[in-house]
Amino acid sequence: MIVFVSGAARSGKSEAAEVCAIRLSCGGRLHYIATAQAVDEEMTERIRRHQERRAAQAAHWTVWEAPFSSREIAASLRPNDVVLLDCLTAWLAHELFSGESWKTDATAQATARRLLDGVRAWDAACRAVVIVSNELFSGGVPDDPGTFRYMKTLGSLHQQLVAEAAAAAVVECGLLRVKKGRWPR
């Protein structure tokens, strides 16, 4: 089962996704796939806050930090496990801009298919995959071709994942609004 959570930066989507993953765990292990990389002081602080929040929760998380192998994660999963991917936005950015993938639509779409295949492999191997992703599309179309290609690719990934998801929600100002399916209780 895929559960998709989106929202603006600092909207509360990570906390909502963590609660959802814990509810879905039912005795299985929790895997936290952390895609952010500490590239500056602000990101280092955000990562620290996420780590503190996870440590304060009753649940124990197995943390996979970027860069990671999707196959290695899939091979480690058991049927009752739950995966939390936080977040798709950063994962795609790292994968897309680490090489030449951003230069053409074809290579960007190949990168997106590879990420989607990774999520599907996790989904096939465990109870649930909870995906967090930023909503980037309310600010208009960027002038930069690489950024525009990234946003198009992310939008396509969002649509594909929501189509396959059992539940999808948007978090705004800390409030969760379910857009598809039933939210796990």
The set of catalytic residues is: 50
139 is an annotated ligand-binding site residue: no
8 is an annotated ligand-binding site residue: yes
16 is an annotated ligand-binding site residue: no
112 is an annotated ligand-binding site residue: no
36 is an annotated ligand-binding site residue: yes
Place of tokens 């930090």: 65
Look up residue 147 and give its two tokens. Answer: 């950024």
12 is an annotated ligand-binding site residue: yes
Look up residue 176 and give its two tokens. Answer: 């969760």
69 is an annotated ligand-binding site residue: no
Q: Report cis status (omega within 30 of 0) of the bond before 87.
A: yes
> Could you give the CA distance from residue 50 to residue 20 in angstroms, rounded to a whole number?
16
**Residue among 71, 79, 156 at smallest CA distance from 117:** 71
Please list, in sequence order, all residues whose beta carbon lies within 8 angstroms of the beta carbon of residue 175, skipping any fewer than 6 positions away: 12
104 is an annotated ligand-binding site residue: no
**Residue among 90, 96, 85, 95 at smallest CA distance from 121:** 85
**Residue among 126, 175, 185 at smallest CA distance from 5:** 175
13 is an annotated ligand-binding site residue: yes
Binding site, residues? 7-14, 34-36, 65, 86
Binding site for GTP, residues? 7-14, 34-36, 65, 86
